[in-house]
């Protein structure tokens, strides 16, 4: 039996353990407990965890800038894949974005993450190969 609930900072340790074991997941200082707490408070009601019992087996971080939504760290433990959990997590986040007036959502996939690329393509997301993504540390 799985339960999906809004993510809170109390879910951090379980979520971070899942992210660490998920191939293709990029982690950085932006994933510290403090940074995630700030993200969750700024984007209330948009991020979710899936549990089996007490164990976090799925996550989605979701936020927006007032114009576009963004998904991060969509992950399902490999032992629990094939149960439509990622789709359920994403659907909840997208519904929350829509309720807040956000009509479009983006996500990033690391180039060599074949599982991620396959998942997003088969679930109707469009690859935007005409856009280059740049980063800058402040």
Q: Distance from CA of residue 38 to its chain's centroid?
A: 15
Is residue 133 very low, low, confident or very high in pLDDT (cuts 50, 70, 90)? confident
Nearest to 4 by CA among 96, 89, 98: 89
Is residue 137 very low, low, confident or very high in pLDDT (cuts 50, 70, 90)? confident
pLDDT digits (tens, 9 = 90+) for 30-40: 999 999 999 99
Per-residue pLDDT, 95? 98
Contacts of 125 (CB under 8 A, 6+ apart): 107
What dihedral angle (degrees, nearest 10) is formed by the CA atoms of 32, 71, 68, 137?
A: 40
What average pLDDT does this structure show over 111-130? 94
pLDDT digits (tens, 9 = 90+) for 21-32: 999 999 999 999
3-state secondary structure (DSSP) of residue 2: strand
Q: How many CB atoms lie within 10 A of CB 22?
A: 19
Per-residue pLDDT for 138 more than 90? no
pLDDT digits (tens, 9 = 90+) for 26-79: 999 999 999 999 999 999 999 999 999 999 999 999 999 999 999 999 999 999
**Please, what CATH class does the domain formed by 2-122 belong to?**
alpha beta
Mean pLDDT, the chain, rounded, equals: 96
Q: What angle do CA 80, 35, 31 make, to 5 degrees?
A: 40
Where along the chain do its domains lie?
2-122
Q: What is the CA radius of gyration of the chain?
A: 14
């Amino acid at each position: 039996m799985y339960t999906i609930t809004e993510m809170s900072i109390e879910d951090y340790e379980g979520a971070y353990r899942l992210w660490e074991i998920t191939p293709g997941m990029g982690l950085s200082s932006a994933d510290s407990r403090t940074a995630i707490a700030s993200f969750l408070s700024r984007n209330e009601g948009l991020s979710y965890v899936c549990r089996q019992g007490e164990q976090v087996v799925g996550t989605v971080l979701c936020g927006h800038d007032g114009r576009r939504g963004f998904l991060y760290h969509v992950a399902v433990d490999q032992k629990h894949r094939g149960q439509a959990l990622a789709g359920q997590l994403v659907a909840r986040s997208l519904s929350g974005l829509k309720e807040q007036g956000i009509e479009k959502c983006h996500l990033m996939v690391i180039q060599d993450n074949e599982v991620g690329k396959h998942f997003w393509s088969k679930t109707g997301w469009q690859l935007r190969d005409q856009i280059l993504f740049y980063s800058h540390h402040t």
